[in-house]
Amino acid sequence: MALVCAIGYCKLLHLKKHIMARFITQNQLDIGLSPFELKFKGKKRSEKTHMKIMDFSPDKLIELKLKDIKEAIPFNETNTVSWLNIDGLHDENLIAQVGETFDLDRMVLSDVLNPSIRPKVVEYDNCLFISMKMMRYEEAKNRLHMENLSLVIADRILISFQETKGDVFEPVRDRIRNGKKKIRNSGSDYLAFALLDIVIDNYIYILSLLGDRIESLEDSLLPEPGKHALSQINAFKREMNYLRKNIIPAKEMISSLVKLDSDFLDFDAVGVHYKELQDNINQAVETSDSYREILSDQLNIYHTTVSSKLNDIMRFLTIFSVIFIPLTFIAGIYGTNFDNLPELHYEYSYYVMLAVMLFLTIGMIAYFRRKGWM
């Protein structure tokens, strides 16, 4: 078990290198910028911007990779549902062209270009804007990838903006390709639900991965805490706080979304699904709260166990000292340099002294055992 915890700790340290971020990410050069300024405020995480569109109806599907945003104009004029996905946010000119093509408010584009934005939902005249953090665990590289996801929901189109290529949405694409009736017969509001549901499911999955390591650590605390136990607990607490920093604002955003009376969300048709989103994000928050409490309990167990071991050591040393104090006293008396010590001339004095010491030792040990101190 100790080996498992050690391996988990090493993996966690590797994980931290990739996901720990500063709580304050404001660039000094961005201070004072107009909210309508189209400037990318994040870190460039992909070399190129990739665009892909899926246009579908109950009986038709078109899936294309776009080289120019103008290729998406025909899909904006159809009665089918279109999903335009854009990977890479560093190209400010392209984002501006997307805004012109789909008549998006500059505030929407400004929020898209700010990956550090807090999760939010805002309704505009011709669209609904949603932003939240998206996480995925890359098992091959044993790391957690986090990026900002922005969704723009219009009448028959959904535009998703991501920082890097590759995401967690392939199951949604497969449902569309396989002709699943619910998603193929619904609008952009249900498609948005499907994407948000995938994001929240990954929250829960990542929490479960961290939770397994936390629970395995607990088993090693009771017998004897390893010397790295405290470092492990503190590392897990930092990771849990980091996850909660992103999950709790997402919960607030989902709660606002469910209460929103928007023309772009047909709650008669999809309301039950968005309430399911709320239940799932609540589950994620409750799970993080539970593991946070477990970590606090583990910290208490660690300190209690260490204190108990220290008490045992101090008790042993105290008993050892108490036994040898009278023996040292006797040896000290007969080790003095006075000439007149009558016992020194008795033939069996040495054996009598040893017997007295032995009886004192046995008597004290018997007394300590009777008291339950040994």
Rounded Cα distance between 167 and 46, Å, is 13
Q: What is the mean pLDDT of residues 258-279?
A: 92
Mean pLDDT on 231-239: 87
Round to the nearest angstrom and report the end-to-end CA distance of the chain.
30
pLDDT for residue 30: 59
**Region of poorest pLDDT, from 6-15, 208-217, 270-279, 358-367:** 6-15
Across 30-39, 91-100, 309-318, the highest mean pLDDT is recorded for 91-100
d(CA 26, CA 2): 41
Q: What is the pLDDT of residue 3?
A: 35
pLDDT in tens, 39-93: 888 888 878 899 999 999 999 999 999 999 999 999 988 889 999 999 998 889 9
Task: List, for residues 151-166, the tens digit of each pLDDT value.
Answer: 999 989 999 999 988 7
Q: Residue 101 corresponds to which tokens in the numbers above?
A: 């093509």
Lowest mean pLDDT across 270-274, 303-307, 353-357: 303-307
Instruction: Work out the average pLDDT over 138-149.
Output: 81
Query: For residue 172, what is the enclosing H or E element?
Result: helix 170-177
Please report the pLDDT score of residue 83 as a whole number.
96
**Is the pLDDT higher at 265 or at 216?**
265
What is the per-residue pLDDT for 173?
Answer: 94
Q: What's the pLDDT score for residue 40?
A: 81
- Please say if the pLDDT value at position 8 is more than 70: no
Q: Is the pLDDT of residue 279 over 50?
A: yes
More confident residue, 234 or 309: 234
The CATH number of 310-370 is: 1.20.58.340
DSSP structural state of residue 261: -
d(CA 157, CA 76) in angstroms, rounded, equals 7
- In the numeric block, which tokens belong to residue 147? 């990026």
pLDDT tens-place string over residues 165-201:
877 899 999 999 998 889 999 999 999 999 999 999 9
- For residue 314, the model assigns a pLDDT of 84
Query: pLDDT at position 223, please?
Result: 64
Separation of alpha carbons 295 and 301, rounded Å: 10
Q: Give the separation between CA 342 and CA 114, rounded to whole angstroms.
A: 96
Q: What is the mean pLDDT of residues 299-309?
A: 80
236-261: buried (b, 16+ CB within 10 Å) or exposed (e) per residue? bbebbebbbebbbbbbebbeebbeee
Q: What's the pLDDT at 14?
A: 46
Check whether domain 2-303 has CATH 3.30.460.20, yes or no: yes
Please report the pLDDT score of residue 309 as a whole number.
79
- What local confidence, expressed as pLDDT, does residue 226 receive? 66
CB neighbours (10 Å) of residue 190? 20
Tell me the sheet residues that pair with 60.
57
| For residue 114, pLDDT beyond 80 | yes
In the predicted model, what is the mean pLDDT of residues 257-272?
91
Q: What pLDDT is stored for residue 6 in this prediction?
A: 40
Distance from C-alpha of 351 to C-alpha of 360, rounded to nearest angstrom: 14
34: confidence class by pLDDT, cuts 50, 70, 90: low
Give the pLDDT band of residue 19 (cuts 50, 70, 90): very low
Q: How many angstroms separate the CA atoms of 216 and 80, rounded?
A: 50
pLDDT value, residue 122: 95
Q: Residue 230: which pLDDT band, with cuts at 50, 70 and 90?
A: confident
Contact 167/91 with Cβ under 8 angstroms?
A: no
Yes or no: say if 21 and 45 are a contact pair by the CB < 8 Å rule: no
Domain boundaries, the chain: 2-303, 310-370
What does the DSSP 8-state code read for residue 115?
T
